[in-house]
Amino acid sequence: MKIVVTGGRGFIGSHFVEEALNKEHEIIDIDKMGYASNKNLPWDKHPNYSFIKADISEITHLPNCELLINFAAESHVDNSINDTMPFIKSNIDGVHNLLELVRGKASYERPLFFHISTDEVYGDILQGEFKESDILNPSNPYSATKAAAEMLVLAYSRTYGINYVITRSSNNYGPRQFEEKLIPKCISRIKRNKKIPLHGDGTYVRDWLYVKDNVDGIFKIIESENINEIYNISSQNYMQNIEVAKTILSWFDSNEEMIKFVENRWGQDLRYAVDNQKLRSLGWSPKKNKGLYKWF
């Protein structure tokens, strides 16, 4: 299959590209090479891989392909609180531009629009789990832009007949993740003998999904050939942030004195939780869903 990937130099996107090449797909990777992009990857000279340096909000041509999968996004909540404009440009304007480029193709040349979203579009939930049919209620500028992008995808499907898939994944972790996110930040700060900052009292709950399990879920959906569907991808591996920090400290034989509690972020979500039964019905299940997997 010929696949156009946006954001394939980023964290989750690069793991998708790696697996797609292992499956012998042809990959065209469009990435603007932002601060979190990987400058060098082992498959850069792979015969089935080609790279286009470009911003998805500015491109004027979309290569012909069977699948367009959009990983490209600004994704750090704190950054979105400090400066919303890059999130508007990438997560809304970028998605709008991609949809327009798909709409402009002849109907028989339109790829499936596979959009990567986040569980944060639901907002927080103190008990239970969100299902794909639940109302979106984002809490911060990042999740609001991701929710807006989803609305564009759904509207373009109904108005113009563009086929889509949307996935909403929980907190990913694993190799090549930029250190602004909690787990790589913990690892980096321990290595530099610096304290780990945790918001509030560290009791906020997230569902930790190993990145390769996420990619496996994405491929399970692609291979099912289901279209015009939304899937949650989660491991139901719930941990408080302080549990995450303590686990990583144990990897390095460090103690809890390395933890420093800091002021809550604005609009702090207390607990994320999404139901994954729809994806499980396709035969998928996470391989690593007990605590944190030490990959290095």
Domains and CATH numbers, the chain: 2-173+210-233 (3.40.50.720), 182-205+238-272 (3.90.25.10)
Q: What is the pLDDT of residues 75-104, one digit of tens each?
A: 999 999 999 999 999 999 999 999 999 999
Residue 83 falls in the annotated catalytic set: no
pLDDT value, residue 125:
97
Token pair 């798909």: residue: 102
According to DSSP, the residues that pair with 167 across neighbouring strands are 116, 231
Average pLDDT over residues 186-201: 96
Among residues 18, 93, 120, 150, the one annotated as catalytic is 120
- The share of the chain scoring above pLDDT 70, in percent, equals 100
Indicate the SS3 state at residue 246: helix
Residue 132 falls in the annotated catalytic set: no
Residue 164 falls in the annotated catalytic set: no
Residue 16 has pLDDT above 90, yes or no: yes
pLDDT value, residue 267:
87
How wide is the angle at C-alpha 229 spanned by C-alphas 270 and 161, nearest 5°? Answer: 125
Q: Which of 141, 140, 121 is nearest to 131 (CA)?
A: 121
pLDDT value, residue 159:
98
Computed on alpha carbons and rounded to an integer, the radius of gyration of the chain in Å comes to 19
Report d(CA 152, CA 7) in Å as an integer: 19
Among residues 49, 122, 142, 156, the one annotated as catalytic is 142
HSE (side-chain half, CA atoms, 13 Å) at 143: 21
Residues 113 and 68 sit within 8 Å (Cβ to Cβ): yes
Q: What is the pLDDT of residues 199-219, one digit of tens each?
A: 999 999 999 999 999 999 999
pLDDT value, residue 280:
98
The pTM assigned to this predicted structure is 0.97
Q: What is the pLDDT of residues 100-154, one digit of tens each?
A: 999 999 999 999 999 999 999 999 999 999 999 999 999 999 999 999 999 999 9
Residue 253 has pLDDT above 90, yes or no: yes
Residue 259 has pLDDT above 90, yes or no: yes
Torsion sign over Cα 155, 8, 138, 222: positive
pLDDT value, residue 15:
98
Among residues 18, 29, 55, 119, the one annotated as catalytic is 119
